[in-house]
Structure 1
């Protein structure tokens, strides 16, 4: 389940009062609010329970759902992150982490013309063929989840030579408050949530003299 799906379902459950007391809710009712079938709702509730965010008991058509402390903490983290974003919107979202060597797939994908054309049109960027990979600290990893909720610049996927290429959401950014770049939230990635993938017109390791383990700051800009 994607971060934004998890957050939206937990938010909807909170609107129904699950954050304060156990509630009897049918999958049909929850499905109407979420725009999902009852079967899809059941699967997603199972995922949330497996992640320790809710607990469930089934009684006929109704499911008694209670939000766990871990689930409540997730909503509090979102509240704090959104409050910080709104208060300091013009300053951008600041993420911190350390440089590491990735799998090398960025070079391949950033050389594909269909991607390059979109980067040029939408980001005004003809990126160096390769990504700079940052492993975020724990606080920044949580903050990164907010970027899945706010609008970004959509890089569309496409089909070429019978191969499906996934899309991404991009945000303009700066690294170490000096070099312009863009952050990519890639639909299909082998990395976990703690990894930030960055593109730029420049070879960032050379431009900034970076080696694995160096601490960097990325300031991400967004619009509503």
Structure 2
């Protein structure tokens, strides 16, 4: 389940009062809010419970649900981030970090025809076969959380008969305040939240004369248009 799906489901439950107490919940009514089937709504609740964001109890009277402290902390963190965005009028954020040599997987994945078509159609460019990897500074790690909570531009995954390739989301960006590109948040990655993966139509290391350890800033656009 994607982060923004978790947040929306927690929001729906909180709106029903589950942030302060256990509530009786009918999956059919939740399904109406989600515009999904009761089976899908029930499955999402099970996933949310497995992630530790809600608690559930079922007895002969029905299903009872409450938001756990972990779920409340996620809602509060999102509220603080959203409040900062709205009150500050943010349309972009700036992240910064040091260049480092990655695992070498970026060139392979970015070169796959399906992803190339997705990037070209949704981002407007055919990327250089490789990613620029930044180890973010402490403040940028905090700011990066905003990207995790926003839907971004969906880059769809695919299957080729042998394996399944995961989806990602992207945000258009300007590297070193002048070169266009995008940052990628990949659904399954070996990296933690302190790493930012960047693509561009250009070889950024060569164009910007970058070497490992150089500090680079990235202006990330929060709007999709």
2:56 aligns to what SS in structure 1? strand
8 A Cα contact 1:95 1:144, kept in partner: no
TM-score after normalising by structure 2: 0.77
2:24 aligns to what SS in structure 1? strand
2:25 aligns to what SS in structure 1? strand
Change (3 A) 1:2 1:157: closer
From 142, 145, 148, the equivalent of 1:139 is: 142
8 A Cα contact 1:85 1:92, kept in partner: no
8 A Cα contact 1:10 1:71, kept in partner: yes
Q: Which runs of 5+ in 2 are unaligned?
A: none
What displacement does 1:13 show? 0.5
What displacement does 1:163 show? 7.0
Give the match for residue 110 of structure 2.
Answer: 110
Give me the CA root mean square deviation. 3.2
**What is the CA–CA distance in structure 1 between the aligned matches of 2:194 and 2:41, rounded to whole Å?**
27
Comparing 113-122 with 50-59, greater Cα deviation is found at: 113-122
**What is the CA–CA distance in structure 1 between the aligned matches of 2:92 and 2:199, rounded to whole Å?**
17
What displacement does 1:168 show? 4.1
**What is the CA–CA distance in structure 2 between the aligned matches of 1:192 and 1:69, rounded to whole Å?**
23
Aligned residues: 220
Give the match for residue 198 of structure 1.
Answer: 198
**What is the CA–CA distance in structure 2 between the aligned matches of 1:190 and 1:162, rounded to whole Å?**
21
8 A Cα contact 1:95 1:143, kept in partner: no
Change (3 A) 1:163 1:202: same
What displacement does 1:53 show? 2.1
**What is the CA–CA distance in structure 1 between the aligned matches of 2:211 and 2:61, rounded to whole Å?**
58
Give the match for residue 185 of structure 1.
Answer: 185
After superposition, the C-alpha distances for 1:18-48 in whole angstroms (9 at most, x for unaligned) are: 1132211123322332234444444433333
What displacement does 1:12 show? 0.8
Change (3 A) 1:51 1:208: farther
2:111 aligns to what SS in structure 1? coil
What displacement does 1:89 show? 4.8
Change (3 A) 1:38 1:204: same
TM-score after normalising by structure 1: 0.77
Matches within 5 A, 1:197-216: 197-206=197-206, 207-212=208-213, 214-216=214-216
1:17 aligns with 2:17: yes
Give the match for residue 54 of structure 1.
Answer: 54
Change (3 A) 1:36 1:99: farther
What displacement does 1:67 show? 1.8
